[in-house]
Structures are given as structure tokens and as C-alpha cells.
Structure 1
Amino acid sequence: MKNTQDFYAGVLFMLVGSAFGWGALDYQVGSSGRMGPGYFPLLLGVLLALLGAAMMLRAALFQTDRINAIGPWAWKPMVAIIAANLLFGVALGGLPGLKLPALGLMAGIYLLTFVACLAGERFKFKEAALLATALAALSYLAFVLLLQLQLPVWPVFLVVN
């Protein structure tokens, strides 16, 4: 193996691309002239799998000047990013089984941003707060005002009917 990092990255790309392509087959694919809901995810999955195959082939056949050994797992960033996404999902939809109401888009974005910022080497509260505010404003503009998606924007207990 000439380049182990690129090889395993290619394996990961192939697995993810294949999974998306396989999942897209559950939807109507259609044709390029009349695309169904599964067409675009299938196309992206196949392209990602092909990119992974090309990366694997290149890593196995061609020597590079640098040493690319796989280092230790970066547990802190991985846990922070996964936790941030899970918290965003819980904030947006709540947990009805545990009687936890939805906190809405704004609280979800703030939770997502602050927890994701913990993944970095340094955490600065002011920077995270500014980033969260900008993301919340842009998300409100894009999803609520422009796309008119029916999302819970504010916590359920703050909304007056």
C-alpha cells in the first residue's frame, strides 16, 4: 500500500456512496428527462462511489513523496460534531416519547453551533455566539422567509396561539 490515508478515505467514500445509491433505489428513479425523487441521490451516490474507487486505485498504485500513516482517532471532534447534530435534531423535533417539546430552529442552531465549536482546539464564547447569531439569522431568512418551510422556529412553550 503506497498511501494508506487516501486508500481508506476511498473505502469510506465508496461505502457512503454505495449506501446512498442503494437507499435511492427505494424511490422512483425515473430518467434524465423525467427525474424522480431517487434520481439525484442515486447519481450523487454513484459519483461518490466512483470517486472513492479512483482514490483507492491511485493510493494503491502511485507512490507519494510524503508519509501518510493513519494517526490516532480524533475522539473529541468526532464526539462533538455527532453530538451537535443529534442535539439539533432533538431541538428541532423534540422527543415525544420522553415528553420533551421541540425547542425550535433558533435554539437548535445555537445548540448546534456551541457544541460543534467544542470540536476545535480552542473555544471562544464570543466567536461561537457571533457565529450562532449569524447562522440563526441566515437560517431564518432562507428557510422560514424565502422557502416558507413550516418549521418550529421558537420553543413550543414560548409560542402563544
Structure 2
Amino acid sequence: MERRRSLPDVLAGGIFVLIGGAFAAGSLGHELGTPLRMGPGAFPLLVGAITAALGLAIVVKGLVAGGVAAFGPVPWRAVAVIVLAVLFFGSTVRGLGFVPTSAVTALLTTLAARRVRPLAAAAVAAGLTAAATLIFVVGLQLRIPLWGPWLGL
């Protein structure tokens, strides 16, 4: 039986191991706390360890049972729209406020797919904006203004 190795899996898993290890190492500079009273370093340590473990599993899978995966063309339009949406959110959330920025960001990311109709995209954006507002502003009580100073409200 011939063993096939998957270089993309090994490389991707290695990247996950490096990123997870960096987060875990960076979290050690903060107080970890106890399991009942976790400190600020506990969550990054946990996420970093899980990411590194998953990366190691991907590396092992790529070395032991790697399969040849055929990739199609890269959807550059979707990649560009999603990057633009993230940049838009980060640069306008303080000026426009959470609700309009979330709505535009959700609309942009929904329209990244070619087969989405405008009415469906608007419905998804409205639902995501309402859910995000309830989760982050109401539930987690983040101090983000709902409507920003750029709107004059």
C-alpha cells in the first residue's frame, strides 16, 4: 500500500500550530487564575492550545493519509468583498455606530456570493444586525454606541 502525503495539509497544519503556539505563549504573560476564577490569560491559552492541537492533527493526517485535493478557481470577488467588509467595519464602527456598520458589513458579506438576490441579502443583513446587537450590545453589554456621531443622531 502506497502512502500519499499531502503538502497543503502539512503546511496548513503547521501554520495552525505556529499561530496556536504564539497565542499560548503570549497568554503566559498574563495571570491564568484558577478554573473557577479564570484570569485574562486563561482563554487565550485555551484557544491557542486547541488551535495548536488541531494543527498537529492536520499535520499528522497530511503525513499519514494525505489525499490529493483538486482545488477550483479562487473566488477573488468574494475574497475582496469580505476583506473590504472587515476593513469597513473596523474603520467606521466608532463613527457610524454599531447598527449601521453591522448592517452594511453583513450586506457586503452576503453579496459576496454570486447567487444571492438583493432582497434575500437585505433580509440576512437585517437579521444578522439584530442578532449582533442583541448579543454584543444588550447581552454582553459592550460599550459601543448604536448610532454614531457621523450620522448626527
TM class by shorter chain equals 0.7 to 0.9
Residues 5, 68 of structure 1: 8 Å contact kept: no
Describe the shift of the 1:60–1:74 C-alpha distance in structure 2 as closer, same or farther (beyond 3 A).
farther
2:138 & 2:46 partners in 1: Cα distance?
30
1:90 and 2:83 are equivalent in the alignment = no
Kindly report structure 1 stretches of 4+ aligned residues shifted beyond 6 Å: none
Query: Could you tell me which residue of structure 1 aligns to residue 81 of structure 2?
Result: 80
Alignment of structure 1 residues 46-85 onto 2, 5 Å: 46-64=49-67, 67-69=68-70, 73-85=74-86
Counterpart pick for 1:44 among 47, 53, 58: 47
Which of 131, 138, 141 is the equivalent residue of 1:145? Answer: 138
CA positional deviation for 1:50: 1.3
Label 1:84 to 1:15 Cα distance change in 2 as closer, same or farther (>3 A).
farther
Identity %: 35
TM-score by length of 2: 0.81
Q: Partner residue of 1:17?
A: 20
The whole-number CA distance in structure 2 between the counterparts of 1:87 and 1:136 is 15
CA-atom RMSD, angstroms? 2.4
Give the aligned length. Answer: 150
**TM (normalized to structure 1)?**
0.78
Task: Note the C-alpha offset of 1:22.
Answer: 3.0
| Residue 148 of structure 1: how far off its partner (Å) | 2.9
